[in-house]
Amino acid sequence: MQRFPILMLPAAFLSVLLTAFACTRVVYDDELFVMPDGRYDSEFPNKNGSGELADILESVKMINSIAYYIGYNFSEVSGVREISEAALSKANHVFYFNETSAGTATIIYNYGNRLALLTCEHIVTFPDTMITYYENTDRIRTVSFLRRQTNYVNGIPDGSDLEVIISNKTHDLALIGREKESNAYLPVFSYPLGEAKKLEWGSFVYLLGYPKGNKMITRGIVSSPNRNKEDHSFLVDALFNKGFSGGLILALKDGVPNFELVGIAKSVSADYDLLVTPEKNYTRNEMEMNLPYTGDLYVEERSTISYGITNTTSIESIQRFLTANRLRLEESGYEFSYFFKSVIPNNR
């Protein structure tokens, strides 16, 4: 009977010791040790990356593009079938309107007196001419011509008008820029370029941009990596709103601070419907709510966004886009060798 307490005390102590040791080891491993494997991370970052993301955001800007049009309306009896000076003189109404778009652009070049930003082609490209026809005829109803266009980027000094230097509709890419008139400091994106072709199912990414005009960061998970073997595009489940087009997509390789650019967001899956609406600026007061509308009717296309299915343009496509236009860029005064270096010169 005297040996029973002596045998039980060490066993109980050993049980408590092993339990404490096991719990401590699990927390220690999860928080402090991440085995580098050279692959893009599929887990949440194990340390704070807010400083690096704030630094990257300094080069990410909001862009607004406005296209100004003049339009001519023809009656059906005028029989206008081709556009000419004589035909325009037959117009029974001349009108003016504008088209707008907004998105995200990133400063990728700031050297000498030149500045350039990368964005999506659909943000800064508008049709030169738009024609509508009377139903089931070849007679022209309206024709509209682009008169001028402005591309305004927030935070860029010396005025707002940036020109489209090069663009590519297939990959939805554009480079906009201008000559600088001052030496104002404008930070350039200078983090390493990644390889979208090495993204995997479940790779964790950050998206930086201006959805609905708000500077924001969101996160997402990669699906369908290398869905197109030629351009290495992929899908991301991040929420996407208007204005996010052109936003950066960053992946992490072996944790913070190893951010790499793997592409830009370009569009979201959506369904489109045609609706009959009153004129764009139409408003009616409370007293008129019960009266029938008697003004002109217009057909308007409206989209319903399928959130969580974001399309992308890969970094490989961006590099090919710039390389293919190297001579044109150099002729415009942009020294192509400075694009996407690990550290890009800044004019301070």
Task: Give 80-110 pLDDT, tens digit per residue.
Answer: 999 999 999 999 999 999 999 999 999 999 8
The pLDDT score that the predictor gives to residue 77 is: 87
Judge whether 3 lies within some domain.
Answer: no
pLDDT-based confidence at residue 285 (cuts at 50, 70, 90)? low
The pLDDT score that the predictor gives to residue 27 is: 38
Q: Tell me how far apart the alpha carbons of residues 262 and 198 are, in angstroms, rounded to a whole number.
A: 9
The total number of structural domains that make up the chain: 1
Q: Decide: 318 and 264 in contact? Cβ < 8 Å.
A: yes
Q: Tell me how far apart the alpha carbons of residues 234 and 226 are, in angstroms, rounded to a whole number.
A: 6
For tokens 């010396």, name the residue.
Answer: 158
Determine phi and psi for 50, rounding to 5 degrees.
Answer: -60, -40
**Bridge-partner residues for 298, per DSSP?**
277
User: Dihedral sign, CA of 177, 178, 179, 184?
Assistant: negative
49 pLDDT above the threshold of 60 = yes
Listed in sequence order, the residues at least 6 apart from 118 whose beta carbon sits closer than 8 Å to its beta carbon are 105, 106, 108, 173, 174, 175, 246, 264, 318
**pLDDT tens per residue across span 307-335:** 568 899 999 999 999 989 988 998 888 88
Which of 10, 19, 119, 14 minimizes the C-alpha distance to 63? 119
**pLDDT tens per residue across span 17-42:** 444 444 444 433 444 456 778 899 98
Higher local confidence (pLDDT), 16 or 161: 161
**Bridge-partner residues for 304, per DSSP?**
271
Determine phi and psi for 16, rounding to 5 degrees.
Answer: -65, -40
Q: Decide: 287 and 72 in contact? Cβ < 8 Å.
A: no
As a whole number, mean pLDDT of residues 38-53 equals: 89
As a whole number, mean pLDDT of residues 257-278 equals: 77
Judge whether 20 lies within some domain.
Answer: no
The pair of structure tokens assigned to 345 is 């010169």
As a whole number, mean pLDDT of residues 175-193 equals: 87
Helix or strand run (H / E) with residue 243: none
Judge whether 103 lies within some domain.
Answer: yes
CA 189 to chain centre: 15
Judge whether 228 lies within some domain.
Answer: yes
Listed in sequence order, the residues at least 6 apart from 283 whose beta carbon sits closer than 8 Å to its beta carbon are none
Higher local confidence (pLDDT), 69 or 292: 69
Q: Decide: 222 and 235 in contact? Cβ < 8 Å.
A: yes
340 pLDDT above the threshold of 80 = no
Judge whether 28 lies within some domain.
Answer: no
Within 10 A of 77 (CB to CB), how many other CB atoms are there? Answer: 7
252 pLDDT above the threshold of 90 = yes
Q: Tell me how far apart the alpha carbons of residues 327 and 336 are, in angstroms, rounded to a whole number.
A: 8
The pLDDT score that the predictor gives to residue 28 is: 36
Q: Tell me how far apart the alpha carbons of residues 146 and 161 are, in angstroms, rounded to a whole number.
A: 16
User: What pTM does this model have?
Assistant: 0.76
As a whole number, mean pLDDT of residues 284-303 equals: 65
Give the residue numbers spanning the domain of 315: 50-338
Higher local confidence (pLDDT), 312 or 270: 312
Q: What percent of the chain clears pLDDT 70, i.e. is strictly above it?
A: 77
The pLDDT score that the predictor gives to residue 335 is: 82
CATH number for the domain harbouring residue 56: 2.40.10.120
Judge whether 5 lies within some domain.
Answer: no
Q: Decide: 272 and 303 in contact? Cβ < 8 Å.
A: yes
72 pLDDT above the threshold of 90 = yes
Judge whether 144 lies within some domain.
Answer: yes
As a whole number, mean pLDDT of residues 210-235 equals: 90
Judge whether 325 lies within some domain.
Answer: yes
211 pLDDT above the threshold of 70 = yes
pLDDT-based confidence at residue 200 (cuts at 50, 70, 90)? very high
78 pLDDT above the threshold of 50 = yes
Q: Tell me how far apart the alpha carbons of residues 88 and 71 are, in angstroms, rounded to a whole number.
A: 10
Tell me the CB-side half-sphere exposure of residue 244, using CA atoms within 13 A: 27
Q: Tell me how far apart the alpha carbons of residues 46 and 30 are, in angstroms, rounded to a whole number.
A: 8
Determine phi and psi for 49, rounding to 5 degrees.
Answer: -115, 15
Q: Decide: 76 and 118 in contact? Cβ < 8 Å.
A: no
pLDDT-based confidence at residue 305 (cuts at 50, 70, 90)? low
As a whole number, mean pLDDT of residues 333-341 equals: 71
Higher local confidence (pLDDT), 348 or 201: 201
For tokens 């001052």, name the residue.
Answer: 182
pLDDT-based confidence at residue 151 (cuts at 50, 70, 90)? very high
